[in-house]
Amino acid sequence: MKPASFIFILIALVLAVALPFAQGLLNELDGKSGFYGYKTDVSVPSLPGAEVPGSGLNLVFFGYRSCGTVCPLQLVNLKSLHDRWHDYPVQFVFVTLDPENDSQEELNRVMATMGSNFRAVRPADFRQAQELARQYGDFSAREGGVSREINHGARIYVVTEDDRRQLLYASPDLDLERVSADLERLMEHARG
């Protein structure tokens, strides 16, 4: 086994064990905000074609269509949240980390099946996708060629109309009632 493969497997194992505890750990570190998600206030780039609606929110997730690990879990979470929030100015934005294999047409088709407030963003190439993820505070790394798996986070970012990342959820193991309460608080603040 190559050393790089061993390191990849070791990192994946550590992440798999730690992932269920990540959101709870972040909550303990940020006990003062009163939010379930980890409270931040960081400027992030606007997402062309998926700008935050007026007085609304974007829930942003970085992944790729052929991902078989965290993406399906987070997309189920986002779909459940969409079912609760589809009548509000809340968008659910999937940013592909694999633009070489995820066409805009296919992404749009998949997002349309998820719900009316889902949007897909497709950067020009992997490097641009990787840089965009980094600017949001996420990571992505490809081991090998274009068809190889992409290692990436499982975070959902909540972004306000002024392109500020206000909350992040680090794990797919989410209490969606508490996430909804967080969204309600942010929406109330946005309305003034």
CB atoms within 10 A of CB 56: 20
Residues in a beta bridge with 178: none
Question: How many domains does the chain fold into?
Answer: 1
- Tell me which DSSP letter residue 120 carries: E
Q: Whole domain around residue 182: which residue ranges?
A: 3-191
pTM summary value: 0.83
Residue whose token pair is 């980890």: 38
Backbone angles phi, psi at 180, to 5 degrees: -60, -40
Residue whose token pair is 């309460």: 181
Specify the CATH number for the domain of residue 38.
3.40.30.10
Kindly report, residue by residue over 108-148, the tens digit of the pLDDT: 999 999 999 999 999 999 999 999 999 999 999 987 766 57
158 membership: H or E segment, kind and range: strand 156-160
Q: How far, in Å, CA of 98 to CA of 146, rounded? A: 8
Longest dimension (CA), the chain: 58
Kindly report, residue by residue over 24-68, the tens digit of the pLDDT: 444 444 457 999 999 999 999 999 999 999 999 999 999 999 999
